[in-house]
Structure 1
Amino acid sequence: MSEVESGRAEVRALTAKVHQGGRQSAKAFRDLAQKLLAITVMAQGQHLVLRPNQTGTGPWVMEGAHKSQIASDAGMVKLRDGHWLRVGYLLSLTANDRLAVTESKIQYQWTDGDRSEVFRYDYAYEAEGQHPAAHLNIHALLRQPDDLGSSEWPLERVHFPTGRTSLEQVLRLLAQGFGVATAKSIEVWEPVLAEAERMFYEVAHQPGFTSADAA
């Protein structure tokens, strides 16, 4: 079996366990995300962890832990270009025992400190307030010339509405749009990502763009 075939087979097996539901589905979800990160942009020795959630919004948190397989480390993993990806998912079980993502945040940033964000994809099962339930924040300044010279607008104030953005899409964006080196060649990781993405969108919840849409 080729590396691509074995990778796709592993993705199918893990996704099947996710779709089966029950408490073991959360671990399968973690293992699937770990697999996709490991063959693409995540640096060696980095991990995703699954831990009990203390906030009451779901039983588990899946997040990055770049120093330890136990500690949170602010939810980040180091990437192969020396920059960072903050990964955070709130997971729960539905009434029929299926795994659901309550919220997710995937953020690319230059350093492991605050105020170095480049972009972030946010998702919530339901919209809250005025922001779309699924949206993109870009941390940059828009410079617009005017009669008095120029003006600047911080784009992070704008919540660009999106559909549900998968982890696979973000990994592809980092590799192809930002030039982050990958552990495997594109001939290996792209078919594996495509297989995982196809199975994700077969069941993925797509929220409305406003709080009224979610009502």
Structure 2
Amino acid sequence: MNEVENNCAEVRMLSAKVHQGGKQSATAFRTLAQKLLAITVMEQGQRLVLRPHTRGDTVWVLEGGHNAPHTSDAGLVKLLDGHWLKIGYLLSLTGNNRLAVTSSKIQYQWTDTDRSEVFRYDYAYEAEGRHPAAHLNLHALLPEPDGPGGPGRPLERVHFPTGRTSLEQVLRLLAQGFHVRTARPPEIWEPVLAEAERMFYEVAHQPSFTSADAA
């Protein structure tokens, strides 16, 4: 098999392990995410860390493992463009022993310091408060003096509702929309992301577009 076929076969194998459930599914989830990052926008030597949550032995935190020197913020991995991706997943086993993503945050930021965000995709299995369970935050200023706050109101206060956004979609956005350099050429990583995304959406939970308050 060639490189694309080998990578796609590994993605299918890891995805099947994730779908099977059990405690080993969390490790497979980490390995799969690490693989997708490594062939696309992540700098060599960066890693994702899976650690147990304080809630018990069937709940885990998956996050970037870079120890940023300027901030206490956790969950960062450095990218090939010199910028950063903040990754945080809360994983848990359901009552039927299947792995579920309880919540996730994927954030692109300029530096390893606080308050340098460009965009962030948030997801929660259930909506909390007045924000949609899955939404996008953009960090910019509104160009028009419209609404509370007047001119220059921060756009990140607006939670744009989305469907469930996969890690694969974010990696594709960074490579194609933000022109982040990739470890492998598009003819290698594009079909691998497509295969991983196909298997993800076979089982992915899609939340309501409404907020908890509106439901």
- The normalised TM-score by structure 2 is 0.92
CA apart distance, 1:212: 4.8
Change (3 A) 1:84 1:212: closer
Residue 145 to residue 153, structure 1, CA distance change in 2 (3 Å): closer
Counterpart residue number, 1:142: 142
Q: Report Cα offsets for 1:158-177 as digits up to 9, x if no partner.
A: 00000000000000000000
User: For 1:90 and 1:151, how far apart are their aligned partners in 2?
Assistant: 37
Aligned to 2:18: 18
Equivalent residue number for residue 82 of structure 1: 82
| Partner in structure 1 of residue 190 of structure 2 | 190
How far is the alpha carbon of 1:55 from its aligned partner? 5.6
Conserved? CA contact 1:92–1:100, under 8 Å: yes
The equivalent of 2:99 in structure 1 is: 99
* Structure 2 match to 1:123: 123
Tell me which residue corresponds to 2:180: 180
- % identity of equivalent residues: 79
Structure 2 residue 170 is matched with structure 1 residue 166: no
Task: Using the TM superposition, give the Cα deviation of residue 54 of structure 1 relative to its aligned residue in structure 2, in angstroms.
Answer: 2.5
Is 1:66–1:73's contact at 8 Å kept on the other side of the alignment? no
Question: 1:63-74 alignment to 2 at 5 Å?
Answer: 63-67=63-67, 74=74
Residue of structure 1 in register with 2:39 after alignment: 39
Report if aligned partners of 1:91, 1:103 keep a CA contact under 8 Å in 2: yes
Could you tell me how far apart the structure 1 residues matched to 2:213 and 2:30 are?
30
Q: 1:214 to 1:198 in 2, by over 3 A?
A: farther
* C-alpha distance in 1 between matches for 2:27 and 2:46: 17
Matches within 5 A, 1:191-206: 191-206=191-206
Q: 1:55 & 1:161 partners in 2: Cα distance?
A: 29
Partners of 2:145 and 2:153 within 8 A in 1: no
Aligned-residue offset at 1:122? 0.1
| Cα contact 1:127–1:209 (8 A) shared by 2 | no
1:145, distance to aligned residue in structure 2 (A):
6.2
Once the two structures are overlaid, the 10-residue window that deviates more, 72-81 or 38-47, is 72-81
Paired residue for 1:30?
30
Aligned length, in residue pairs: 209
Matched to 2:171, the amino acid is L
1:6 Cα deviation from its structure 2 partner: 0.2
After superposition, the C-alpha distances for 1:144-189 in whole angstroms (9 at most, x for unaligned) are 168xxx9222100000000000000000000000010000000000
SS in 1 for 2:128: coil
Q: 1:116/1:73 Cα in 2 relative to 1: closer, same or farther (>3 Å)?
A: closer
Q: TM-score by structure 1 length?
A: 0.92
Q: CA deviation at 1:26?
A: 0.1
Letter in 2 for 1:36: L
User: Does structure 1 retain, via aligned residues, the 8 Å contact 2:129–2:213?
Assistant: no
**Equivalent pair of 2:107/2:118 in contact (CA under 8 Å):** yes
What code does the residue aligned with 1:205 have?
Answer: H
> Quick one: distance in 2 between partners of 1:25 and 1:82?
31
Per-residue CA distance 1:12-36 (angstroms, 9 max, x = gap): 0000000010000000000000000
Q: One-letter code of the match for 1:208?
A: S
